[in-house]
Chain A
Amino acid sequence: AQRVTQPEKLLSVFKGAPVELKCNYSYSGSPELFWYVQYSRQRLQLLLRHISRESIKGFTADLNKGETSFHLKKPFAQEEDSAMYYCALRGGSWGKLQFGAGTQVVVTP
């Protein structure tokens, strides 16, 4: 069975401080991992995906198969980063997305 675990329900950081959102997964095959974000009063949207190896809005995430993790990082948090972040895994023959419970990030000035 596949599972996505986000251990932090709430992450409060100061503006300019580094922020790291943890995501651990369990999946027997080769996973594809994503981060989705929901800003206040906006729709849930894709932030980044591991296969793209991209940096979006200063965020990066590296897939660590040994530790089965896909942590999201940003070196200097901004107030506009305040949002709910969901880690998601795609596995299986068809590929439906399994989401974690989400981490609420609050960036204070």
Chain B
Amino acid sequence: DVKVTQSSRYLVKRTGEKVFLECVQDMDHENMFWYRQDPGLGLRLIYFSYDVKMKEKGDIPEGYSVSREKKERFSLILESASTNQTSMYLCASSRGIRNEKLFFGSGTQLSVL
């Protein structure tokens, strides 16, 4: 089965810090995604990538950037963390252009103090 691994389960950072969230998938999937999950808001797409070194903005990209230097790894970067970025971050991957089924990581709960 596909495994999507997020490097940290919990992170606590201070306002203004630069934060890196790492995600690795082991099934050679072309597509990778970063979502944030907030109660009452569901999942909102931050960024996605359909190939190495390619990236596309999702619905809420402000305050975030991403990096995909290798096919299996997709990093989410908070350039200067703010308290409103406290959230659960989910990474996902899928195969092919139709990207029918997303495989999710277990999530990173980020708290920005």
Question: In the assembled complex, which residues on chain A have CB atoms less than 8 Å from the CB atom of B102?
Answer: 36, 44, 46, 97
Contacting pair A101 B40 (CB below 8 A): yes
Known: A100-B42, A102-B42. A44 touches B104 (CB 8 A): yes
For this complex, into which size category does the number of interface residues on chain A fall? 20 to 34
In the complex, chain B residues 69-107 whose Cβ is within 8 Å of any chain A Cβ: 90, 92, 97-102, 104-107
Contacts of A70 in B (CB 8 A): none
Contacts of B33 in A (CB 8 A): 96
Number of interface residues of B (CB under 8 A): 26
Bound: A77/B4 CA distance, A = 30
- By beta carbon, the residue of chain A nearest B96 is A95
Residues on B with C-beta less than 8 A from A99 are: 35, 42-44
Q: Is B12 an interface residue (CB 8 A)?
A: no
Q: Are A45 and B104 in contact (CB under 8 A)?
A: yes
- Separation in Å of the B9 CB from the closest CB of chain A? 11
Residues of B with C-beta under 8 A to A95: 97-99
Chain B residues at the A interface, C-beta cutoff of 8 Å: 4, 33, 35, 40-45, 48, 50, 56, 58-59, 90, 92, 97-102, 104-107
A-side interface residues toward B, CB under 8 Å? 4, 6, 9, 36, 43-46, 49, 86, 90, 94-102
> Which 3 residue pairs of A and B lie closest in terms of their CB atoms, listed nearest first?
A99-B43, A101-B42, A44-B104
